Amino acid sequence: MLKKLSIIFVLVATVATANAQIKTPQPSPAAKMEQVVGLTDVSLEYSRPAMRGRTIFGDLVPYGKTWRTGANANTKITFGNNVVINGKELKKGSYAIYTVPNKKSWDVIFYKDTKNWGVPQKWDESKVALKTTAQIEEMPMKIESFTMTFDDLTANSAVLGMLWENVYVGVKFEVPTDKIASKSIKNVMAGPSGNDYFQAATYYHTSGKDLQKALKWMEKATAGKDAKFWHLRRMSLIQADLGDKKGAIATAKKSLAAAEKAGNADYVKMNKDSIAEWTK
């Protein structure tokens, strides 16, 4: 009986100890980011050490030495599609980011093994998927916590930013948006709907591709009595960019009437402004 009571006591004490574990904030808290660049998913996981009155670069982080680019576990970036960095292709997948800070530039390394805690004890050059150099930009203010960002977003590229102390380093990467979009358009256009024509034409228009083809698609998208005002708006913009201001004005007036009927003040204003501009 006493033996059973002892076992029960130990179990209760163990559960109580587990439930009473102290929780405190991490000195270098973890961060996660997700960003869509064009049609490519990009995610980032890293930890954020703080300055806490220390000199960072050239001291806490020595110049010329490989740095884990953060703290704790590897900083990890994942690309959903192949990307291009400084003319070099980086295959889709996950990579650890290591850097070698120097006074005027950083070497930025994308490493295939993401399961290290910090810099690998034995560096394997065969696991370096891509290495590039980025120039330092000095900032007028200090950043207390190490920060990574996705900057200068476009449909075709973004910049991976790294900020700490008064240093900013950016690495531009390009994504295959046009290749993916063109393939999608080709596949869908085998049996397109009015909205498919609209989306394809919008992409061609905003990307500066074949505007004549974009116009033909918009003519199909707006065929019929119930053409949508935002479809007509896009068609008028394409006509204007092709130099057909008379046609653009006529289409914009149709879009204006439909927008007024729908009670959409934004499109009413945009159409009125465009008609006034094209009438000059």
Q: In the chain, what are the domains?
A: 26-174 (no CATH), 177-279 (1.25.40.10)
For 39-65, give one letter per residue: b (16+ CB within 10 A) or e.
Answer: bbebebbbbbbbeeeeebbeeebeeee
Q: Which residues contact 21 (CB under 8 A, 6 or more apart)?
A: none
Please tell me the distance from the alpha carbon of residue 120 to that of residue 117, in angstroms, as a whole number: 7
At 5, the pLDDT band (50, 70, 90 cuts) reads: very low
Residue-wise pLDDT tens digits, 29-67: 999 999 999 999 999 999 999 999 999 999 999 999 999
With tokens 């030495």, the residue in question is 65
Please tell me the distance from the alpha carbon of residue 212 to that of residue 201, in angstroms, as a whole number: 10
- What is the chain's mean pLDDT, rounded? 92
Q: What pTM value is reported for the model?
A: 0.75
The alpha carbon torsion through 166, 35, 173, 39 (nearest 10 deg) reads -160
Coil, helix or strand for 136?
Answer: strand
Find the DSSP H helices in 141-244: 177-188, 194-206, 211-221, 229-241
